[in-house]
Amino acid sequence: MSVVPFKPQHMRIGVLTAALQELTPRKVRDADPDKAIEDWLQFGRELGADDIQLSAALHPSESDVPPEAMLDPVANTLDLRRPFDKARASRVEQAVASTGVKISDVAYFDNLLHHDAATREKKHDFLLRVFDALGMCFGSFASFQHRLLLGGFLQGAKARDRMRVAGVLAVIHGLAPR
């Protein structure tokens, strides 16, 4: 058996955006849904972080769980009450380029198997919007998170929704054009 010399490797350091509540005050974020992403990328740069893990969640005004019952009622750094269109994607990509901080992945933790069909559908629809945003903006996105999220979603998803997610994953993994 041969001995291989130790070669240290740089480990990327990231910050979960849900970790610090109200970096961008709710009033500001509600008026400008992409300001929180820009602020987090800048804050990550100031911290010396390589990446941010972008939190996504239903806005507190749309959630089935009241804000006072949540551990983190402001986890919607990626605010999808408005469609995430090309202009929004471009703005986020410009902020990534200007700060040098990348978005490692998007975190969305919710009960995708909710007992109430209407609530479950709302959460599934939101997850689809998250994947649509990823496909538009984060072409290099590759994370274990989406594998965890899909387990509950795919059990009850419609065939067209499963195909939509598969298409976005193909873009994310470089198997299809953006």
Note whether 77 and 55 are within 8 A (CB). Answer: yes
Show Cβ contacts of residue 47 under 8 Å, excluding neighbours closer than 6 positions: 15
Q: How confident is the model over 47-57, as pLDDT tens digits? A: 999 999 888 98
Residue 61 DSSP code:
T
For residue 147, the model assigns a pLDDT of 42
For residue 98, the model assigns a pLDDT of 94
For residue 87, the model assigns a pLDDT of 93
Note whether 47 and 15 are within 8 A (CB). Answer: yes
Counted residue by residue, the chain has a size of 178
pTM as predicted: 0.76
For residue 141, the model assigns a pLDDT of 46
For the domain 14-172, what is the CATH code?
3.20.20.150
Q: Where are the domains of the chain?
A: 14-172
Spans of the chain, pLDDT less than 70 = 21, 71-74, 138-178
